Structure 1
Amino acid sequence: MIAQPLKPWLLVSVLLNVFLIGGVGGGLYHWKTSAAPAEAVVNQHGLRQAMVKLPPERRRELRQLLRHNRADSQPLVMAGREARLGVIKQLEAPTLDRDVLVAELAKAREADAALRALVDTTLAQFASGLPQEERQKLVEALYTRGQARAVGGKPRS
């Protein structure tokens, strides 16, 4: 007498469990077979992408050079940050002093340009010790949007 009303619930429970197990199993299978490497998932630009494309020993070398220059770059980073805070302060002020705003923007631009020059010098120092194949990888990583080909034509092989 009790078994009769339980049969539909048992059938629903079995079907639900089969469905859930199949869904979890299918999801795991899909995840395992189509998982992209972490490097490809992250949209990286500039030096980070260049580091991904370089061999591990070259990556370490570039990181060490950048860390070595960190002490020189900190004042430039702080100057740029302070100038941008000055820009924000001027833009939020009840009355805008255009001359002060232009001066703060110029300070930020100069600090950013000096920082970029320091990083570029470090990159040039690093690239001077690379063989031609690794320099080519560096070019491909740094100029991914076809800038090098648009300017210089076909890359040399």
Structure 2
Amino acid sequence: MTQPNKPLKTLLVVSLLLNVFLVGGLAGGLYQWLGHNRAQPLAVAEPQHGLRKALVQLPDVSRQQLRQLLRQTRIDSQPLLLAGRQARLDVVERLQQPTLDRNALDADLGRAREADSALRARVETALADFAGSLSLEDRQKLADSLYMRGQGKARPGNKH
């Protein structure tokens, strides 16, 4: 029998170490991935506020009504959404031009602001109409979810 030459033996040892390293890395990655998937719903749960929190806190019937109302408001507001998006794209385009046309930029910003304000007014009107159909308890939940985002916010009716 012949003795394997030294370079072949070295290559075999390096290959073995590399394979052990790769298998260990894959096993560790798989362990982490599977471990994170189980814990993810608890660890990634973000604090909800605004309309999302309202949707969680309201009873099922009211939640469905609010979702449908918001969906219809979004459909009805498509022209405003598109106008606001186009105005913001125009702002970006103006800012990228070699020379800044300040008057045109101000006009584009104004169009975006007007579209956003009109959209907000529509959503607020829809929410006010919806609130009229709720019980006092559900209106309080709605108010808490929409306006009480942190401890630093003043709660209506409470004095600091």
What TM-score do the two structures reach when normalised by structure 1? Answer: 0.69
SS of 1:145 mapped into structure 2: coil
Is the aligned partner of 1:120 residue 2:128? no
Alignment of 1:80-91 (within 5 A): 80-91=84-95
1:71-82 maps to which residues of 2 (within 5 A)? 71-82=75-86
Matched, 1:55 2:59: yes
> Would you say 1:44 and 2:48 are equivalent positions?
yes
Q: Deviations over 1:107-133 (max 9, x none)?
A: 000000000000001100110010011
In structure 1, what residue type is equivalent to 2:85?
R
Q: Quote the Cα distance in structure 1 between the aligned partners of 2:116 and 2:49.
A: 18
Name the count of aligned residue pairs.
124
How far does the alpha carbon of each residue in 1:22-79 deviate from its partner, in whole angstroms, 9 at most, with x for none? Answer: xx7xx87xx57x96398xx134332122111111211100011112222321000000
2:105 aligned with 1:93, yes or no?
A: no
Task: Identify the residue that residue 157 of structure 2 maps to in structure 1.
Answer: 152
Structure 1 residue 152 displacement after superposition: 3.3
Letter in 1 for 2:109: L
1:105-144 → structure 2 map (5 Å cutoff) = 105-143=109-147, 144=149
Alignment RMSD: 2.5
Q: Which moved more, 1:95-104 or 1:56-65?
A: 56-65
Write the distance in 2 (CA, Å) between the matches of 1:94 and 1:37: 47
Separation of aligned partners in 2, 1:119 and 1:37: 32
Scaled by the length of structure 2, the TM-score of the pair is 0.68
Instruction: Tell me what 1:14 maps to.
Output: none
Measure the CA separation in 1 of the matches of 2:81 and 2:75. Answer: 10
* Alignment partner, residue 16 of structure 1: none
Instruction: Name the aligned partner's letter for residue 88 of structure 1.
Output: V
Q: 1:57-104: CA deviations, max 9, x gaps?
A: 111000111122223210000000000001000000010000000000
Return closer, same or farther for 1:73/1:35 CA change in 2, 3 Å cut-off. closer
1-side partners of 2:53 and 2:98: how far apart? Answer: 43
Gap regions ≥5 residues in structure 1: 1-19
Identity %: 52
